[in-house]
Structure 1
Amino acid sequence: MDDGYDSLSEKERETLRLLLHGHDAKSMAGTLGLSVHTVNERLRNARRKLHVTSSKEAARLLFERESDAPHFLGHKTLGDADEGEGAPDDKQSQDDGKARIPRAYILAGVLIMSLFFATLALGLLPGSADEPTASSQTQDAEVLAAARRFVELVDAGDWEASYERTAASFREANTLAIWSQVSEDVRPPLGKVLSRKVTSVEDLPTPQNYYAVKFATDFAEKAGATETVTLAREDGAWRVVGIFIE
């Protein structure tokens, strides 16, 4: 039976994969070097082709078809960079004149820590959220506490303690030395945290039940940043799969 997957363009699949990695529409636009309009158009086309009304459902269907593919394997480390210099969308060449942004660094094939700290507003993906239940609220609180503790350790420059709070998939792809080196290059230049406010706690459309926690953060050297921490439940605790700062 045709589920619509084969009719998806590679660019539409690429956009849905970023949704699985915890991105919202505007961070996808920044990562891909596109406008938000172009990203939303890709998502609309993907929903139409997959016969669903939610972008999350479209991403879930994509995951089911590609879960054994390299896109979802933890085969890249923090030090690996993919320049992503493929051809831009036909419309994008005349869209907003932005230069294409190089692909960011991939953490364990799940989240990204960007070395390009572009100022991006927090955007919302299409689709409505389910009503929270008491159990889901408790779980959200646990996820948030784990994410907050992780970023506090990163703020303190305690690379070893923060590394101990990462998931096995993260540690398999990145040694403590790699994590420490990249973190040292990225985090200290941002300076002291002036304010940090949680903006969302969201379960991602994957069978592994990944959660993404977003913070709106002002650093001394970077105001208006968005920090996204993705976590997975492992050995009875919430452990970090990746972090994305933009």
Structure 2
Amino acid sequence: MTGFQALTEKEKQALRLLAGGHDAKSMARYLGLSVHTVNERLREARRKMSVSSSREAARQLRDHERGDPENHGDMSLGDAAAAPGMEQSRASAEARRMSRRAGWIVGAIIMSVSLALFALASLSGNAGTPAAAPSTAPAQSPAVAAARDWLALVDKGDWNGSWEATGQAFKALNTVETWTRVAIRVQGPLGAVKSRVLVSEETVPAPPYGYQMVKFRTDYANKAGAIETLSLVREGGSWRVVGVTVE
């Protein structure tokens, strides 16, 4: 096979992230991979699509998926209605990775066009990213307030509402169905929230615009002293969650 039909789902994922404004380093951090592996996927995608530029391959894939209502691109990633086997496999891999980290790793934490990535997946930095700088914002800054509001939706089990309140980088890699399934699997054993206290807020100067990292210490019915870390970016005048972990 050649062209779009020959691309694997992992290669498409890399191209979608690239089209969203990520670079190889931010994709590697989000996906929990090495930069070498990300570049290999982009190289294979270029070869299969017979183009010399990864960005050109990403642009062609984006245009192809936008023009094909049956194709599940950025707006329908992982939708069970199409390619169920592929979606289920990806969701299972995501669930396993989140289970190993004993928390949610859903969404992107470094930014895309309006941010960088999270993606999609840990908060560890690298040599090319400056260390997080403590913020001088008040305890209840707009980012902290947005984080609390989002967590309140999660506490209530409002999966549609919490998904809608996430940023574009999160939605590009998680459908509402995938988010609902994984969140229920992770949150269920924790039980109800008993208390939540703000620990810190930091400004992380990641390209292109940076993001806010907000941490809470939360006591669940079945887990005391859990640390919830949320990454938020500014989109459309509002703070949006693009990554969350619970440890």
Which residue number corresponds to residue 118 of structure 2?
110
- Give the 3 Å change call, closer, same or farther, for CA 243–73 of structure 1 in structure 2: closer
Match of 2:185 in 1: 185
What residue is the counterpart of 1:153 in the other structure? 153
Structure 2 residue identity aligned to 1:177: E
TM-score, structure 2 as length reference: 0.51
CA shift, 1:192, in A, is 1.2
- Residue 80 of structure 1, aligned match among 93, 97, 112: 93
The answer (yes or no) to whether the contact 2:201–2:214 under 8 Å persists in 1 is yes
Q: For residue 164 of structure 2, what is the aligned residue in structure 1?
A: 164
Offset from partner CA, 1:195-221 (integer Å, 9 cap, x none): 110000111130231111100000001
Q: Does 1:216 align with 2:173?
A: no
Rounded Cα–Cα distance in structure 2 between residues aligned with 1:234 and 1:150: 15
Tell me the amino acid that sits aligned with residue 226 of structure 2.
Answer: A
Query: How far did 1:128 drift?
Result: 9.5
Q: Which residue of 1 aligns with 2:202?
A: 202
The CA deviation string for residues 123-175 of structure 1, in whole angstroms up to 9 with x for no partner, is xxxx895683xxx449x610000000011110000000001100011101000
Maintained 8 Å contact 1:146/1:239: yes
CA distance in 1, matches of 2:23, 2:196: 34
The answer to whether residue 241 in structure 2 is matched with residue 233 in structure 1 is: no
Deviates more, 1:181-190 or 1:218-227: 181-190
1:107–1:78: structure 2 CA closer, same or farther, 3 Å change rule?
Answer: farther
Contact 1:227 1:245 in 2 (8 A): yes
1:197/1:217 contact within 8 Å kept: yes
| SS of aligned partner of 1:150 | helix
1:44-63 Cα offsets, whole Å, 9 max, x none, are: xxxxxxxxxxxxxxxxxxxx
Q: 1:80 is matched by which residue type in structure 2?
A: A
| C-alpha distance 223-137 of structure 1, shift in aligned 2 (>3 A) | closer
Q: Quick check: 1:194–1:219 contact (8 Å CA) kept in 2?
A: yes
> In 2, Cα distance between the equivalents of 1:102 and 1:128?
25
CA RMSD of aligned residues (A): 3.5
Give 1:245's aligned residue.
246
Cα deviation, 1:20-42, whole Å, max 9, x if unaligned, reads: xxxxxxxxxxxxxxxxxxxxxxx
Q: Name the CA shift for 1:130/1:143 in 2 (closer, same or farther; >3 Å).
A: closer
Separation in structure 1 between the aligned mates of residue 184 and residue 100 of structure 2, nearest angstrom: 21
Q: Could you tell me how far apart the structure 2 residues matched to 1:203 and 1:194 are?
A: 28
- Confirm or deny: 8 A CA contact 1:112 1:243 kept in the other structure: no
Give the corresponding residue for 1:38. none
> Quick one: distance in 1 between partners of 2:30 and 2:196?
31
Write the deviation string for residues 89-138 of structure 1: whole angstroms up to 9, x where unpaired: xxxxxxxxxxxx94675533526789xxxxxxxxxxxx895683xxx449
Question: CA 1:112/1:226 → structure 2, altered by over 3 Å: closer, same or farther?
Answer: farther
Contact 1:81 1:103 in 2 (8 A): no
Could you say which residue in structure 2 is the equivalent of 1:44?
none
Q: Give, in whole Å, the separation in 1 of the partners of 2:148 and 2:216.
A: 9
| Distance (whole Å) between structure 2 residues aligned to residue 81 and residue 128 of structure 1 | 26
Number of equivalenced pairs = 149
State TM-score, norm by structure 1: 0.52
List aligned pairs for 1:33-48, cutoff 5 A: none
1:71 matched to which residue of 2?
28
